Amino acid sequence: MNQNCTALPKAELEALKVEYEAQYRKLADLKLSLNMARGKPAPTLLDLNADLFERMTDYTAADGTDCRNYGVLEGLPEMRQFFGSVLGIDPERIIVGGNASLNLMYDAIARLYCFGTSKTSAWSKEEKLKFLCPAPGYDRHFAITQSFGFEMIPVEMREDGPDMDKIEALVASDPAIKGIWCVPLYSNPQGICYSDEVVARLGKMKTAAPDFRIFWDNAYGVHHLYGKTKLADIFEACEKGGNPDRAYYFFSTSKITLPGAGVAMMAASIDERDFILKHMTIQTIGHDKINQLRTLRFLKDADGLAAQMEKLAVELRPKFEIVAATLERELGGSGLAKWTDPKGGYFVSLDTLDGCAKETLRLAKEAGVTMTGAGATFPLKNDPRDRNIRIAPTYPDCKELQQAMDLLCVCIKLAGVRKLLGEY
């Protein structure tokens, strides 16, 4: 346990500052060059997919479809069945996309903007558009709604999901609020899992907008590191709440097989699925069925997927443990930071003292470690308290990660005591 810096007299802070500066210079002398900005899998994780690249001699789907040729817009039946069994979704609701669920999300917003929903008209015709953004959250979500001109309303995250009291109050009164971004399991960046109550309230809350949409990006839905965390069924919650069309569900194998060549999917109510397919059939003749077939033959079924996830977890657990152990050792009790302890997913979220995130990451970058930019986890990249840092431990190897974490901790401490000393 470290001493609590926030309660120290100035002289002791000055002494700590000298100590941390020396530590910082020592680590800077290592001339590290590490990039931890994005949640990318390490080559060792990618190598677990070698069988995906075996020779392929049969291109035929279960129903006889020649997957080399055109067609099957909604995706191969066995691929939809697979996603359905893994996620507990009726395969009828599922549309298989290309290699990126982000692309499906962007296109969903674009479709709502240009054409509306199965029951309501184009969002572009409305004077003002707003979107709820639980924050800290995923920068690429926020970039989409920013690009389409939405006013983004940050909502605080709690231990079991976003602040539902605030959300219910907002959506009940403002018809311009059209939707919400959610990463319901092992949220990016905190690793928070939505409780059953939060899911139920999202499904049943009264919204002034009749076409309110939940963007349910279950990106880490199977990325358990220490046993399975259950997630309530958002479609069931919406149906029980009398809002059957409310949820759009997204998922992909990008962080299961290959980020660059995974298989993405979305799911929705049958009415919305029909509406989406009606537009998608004009957008494309069909997504890559060969990759669907390859991916499915590699993962096989829900059990095969679970086995693959466990292989990934074997690689990932030590990395998350390095992060947790280093933070606890260097910062535990110091009062200079608090952080999350995710049981799955891809990230750890850390809050410095107010006003210290930018300075911390500047110091880290100058010493050779690039982290996700300060503010990136908030809409418009604006972290009002300048304190959130996203740690992405998946790409570096364990040795590099340890070096990066050592450096990050020193930067947090140095920026923290300087802040306490009123130096910036």
Tokens of 77: 């039946």
Of residues 334 and 377, the one with the C-beta less far from a second copy: 377
Q: What does the buried/exposed string (b/e) look like for 188-227 if buried means 16 or more CB atoms within 10 Å of the residue's CB?
A: bbbbbbbbeebbbbbbbbebebebbbbbbbbbbbbbbbee
The owner of tokens 């639980």 is: 134
Provide the b/e sequence for 71-108 (b: ≥16 CB within 10 Å): ebebbbbbbbbbbbebbebebebbbbbbbbbbebbbbb
Task: In angstroms, give the least distance from the CB of 261 to a second copy.
Answer: 4
- CB closer to a second copy out of 6 and 69: 69
Tokens of 224: 């358990």
Angle subtended at Cα 94 by Cα 139 and Cα 160, rounded to the nearest 5 degrees: 45
Q: Based on CB atoms, which residue is closest to a second copy, 56 or 421?
A: 56
Closest CB to a second copy among residues 258, 296: 258
Residue 321: how many other CB atoms lie within 10 Å: 13
CB of 114 to a second copy, least distance (A): 6
Q: Please work out, in degrees rounded to the nearest 5, the angle formed at the alpha carbon of residue 109 by the alpha carbons of 210 and 134.
A: 75
CB of 362 vs a second copy, minimal distance in Å: 25
- Shortest separation between residue 88's beta carbon and a second copy, angstroms: 27
φ/ψ of residue 338, rounded to 5: -130, 155
DSSP code at position 343: S
Report in angstroms how near the CB of residue 259 gets to a second copy at its nearest. 4
Q: What distance, in Å, lies between the first and last C-alpha atoms of the chain? A: 27
Please say which residue, 20 or 181, places its beta carbon nearer to a second copy. Answer: 181
Shortest distance (Å) from residue 354 CB to a second copy = 30
- Least CB distance to a second copy at residue 50 (A): 9
Cβ neighbours of 336 (radius 10 Å): 25
Which residue type sits at 185? Answer: L
Q: Which is nearer to a second copy, 40 or 365 (CB)?
A: 40
Complex with a second copy: residue 28 or 110, whichever CB lies closer: 110
CB of 292 to a second copy, least distance (A): 9
Nearer to a second copy, 8 or 261 (CB): 261
Residue among 162, 144, 153 nearest 100 (CA): 144
Q: Which residues bind a second copy (CB under 8 A)?
A: 38, 40-41, 43, 46, 49, 53-57, 59, 66-71, 98-100, 102-103, 106-107, 110, 113-115, 124, 140, 143-144, 147-148, 254, 258-261, 279, 282-291
